[in-house]
Amino acid sequence: MSGTLVLVRHGQSEWNLQNLFTGWRDPALTEQGHGEAKKAGGLLAAKGLKFDIAYTSELTRAQVTCQHILDGVGQSDLNTVKNLALNERDYGDLSGLNKDDARTKWGEEQVHVWRRSYDVPPPGGESLRDTGARVWPYYMHVIQPHVLRGETVLVAAHGNSLRALIMALEGLSGEDVIKVELNTGVPIIYKLNADSTIASKEVVEG
């Protein structure tokens, strides 16, 4: 039996708009971000998707995105599980700094390595590998069993917690994952086979 896993990065946050490293800080969605999340709900509703359960992080931007999507598909009261394992990568000492200011201070290349490499942590923060070390076990033990039972599962989370998840799901290398970029509020629908291999992947851009 094949199940469905829908991954969505939260809509634009106030700190995305201001170009600040966010990590575990908790800014709200912007107006645009609310709109992106509602649009994602509408696109999933148009596909006739109904969820069995939803997962999100402990951060407001992901939780509000999750709720907008559930409202959009007519499932406002669906069982929604919040867990810190799905939080954004901890950006450590970079949290709250402007990304362009960081490039000026440390250089374009160093900042790119901190943002996109697999195993180089930003100062005081998590590498993508560190993030994966909490995301992946949570996915394997808590989320995936639902999908493998044939259920339809929503995960509303963050750019890097989802990059870590996608890396493991798709079997990407540390080199491959550097190129993975997730847009805010754009759902990715995976159909998984019963043996957890990927039957199909669709990026839902409206």
Ligand X SMILES: O=C(O)[C@H](O)COP(=O)(O)O
Which residues contact ligand X (rule: CB under 6 A)?
Answer: 21-23, 88, 91, 115, 158-160
The residues, any chain, with a CB within 8 Å of residue 101's CB and separated by 6 or more, are none
Active-site residue flag, 88: yes
The whole-angstrom separation of Cα 158 and Cα 65 is: 10
Q: Say which amino acid occupies 81.
A: V
The residues, any chain, with a CB within 8 Å of residue 104's CB and separated by 6 or more, are none
Least distance (Å) from ligand X to the CB of residue 22? 3
The residues, any chain, with a CB within 8 Å of residue 53's CB and separated by 6 or more, are 78, 79, 80, 81, 146, 151, 153, 154
Least distance (Å) from ligand X to the CB of residue 159? 4
Q: Which of 88, 126, 146, 158 is catalytic?
A: 88
The whole-angstrom separation of Cα 156 and Cα 31 is: 18
Q: Tell me whether residue 129 or residue 191 sits nearer to ligand X (CB atom).
A: 129
Q: Tell me whether residue 75 or residue 160 sits nearer to ligand X (CB atom).
A: 160
Q: Tell me whether residue 181 or residue 195 sits nearer to ligand X (CB atom).
A: 181
Across-strand partners of 202?
A: 189
- β-pairing, 188-192 vs 3-9, is antiparallel
Does 116 appear as a known binding residue? yes
Q: Tell me whether residue 18 or residue 197 sits nearer to ligand X (CB atom).
A: 18
Does 161 appear as a known binding residue? no
Q: Which of 10, 68, 146, 158 is catalytic?
A: 10
Does 163 appear as a known binding residue? no
Active-site residue flag, 170: no
Instruction: Label residue 31 exposed, middle or buried (CB < 10 Å: 0-12, 13-18, 19+).
Output: exposed
**In the complex, residue closest to ligand X by CB:** 22
Does 115 appear as a known binding residue? yes
Instruction: Give the residue numbers of the binding site for substrate.
Output: 9-16, 22-23, 61, 88-91, 99, 115-116, 159-160
Query: Would you name the residues annotated as active-site residues?
Result: 10, 88
